Structure 1
Amino acid sequence: MKFLDWYLKIALVSAGIGASMEFFMIKTGFYDKVTVLESEKRAWENSPEAQTFREALDPWRNNDAQARKNS
Structure 2
Amino acid sequence: MRFAGWYLKIAAVGASIGAAMELFMIHTGFYEKVTVLESEKRAWESSPEAQAMREALNPWRKHDEQEQQK
Unaligned runs of 5+ in 1: none
TM-score normalized by the length of structure 1: 0.91
Determine the C-alpha separation between the residues in 2 that align with 1:34 and 1:17.
Answer: 22
- How has the CA–CA distance of structure 1 residues 13 and 56 changed in structure 2, closer, same or farther, with 3 Å as cutoff? same
Determine the C-alpha separation between the residues in 2 that align with 1:11 and 1:19.
Answer: 12
Report the aligned-residue RMSD: 0.9
Determine the C-alpha separation between the residues in 2 that align with 1:21 and 1:62.
Answer: 47
TM-score normalized by the length of structure 2: 0.93
Which of 52-61 and 15-24 deviates more? 52-61
2:25 maps to amino acid: M
Unaligned runs of 5+ in 2: none
Determine the C-alpha separation between the residues in 1 that align with 2:35 and 2:27.
Answer: 15
The equivalent residue for 2:54 is 54
The equivalent residue for 1:32 is 32
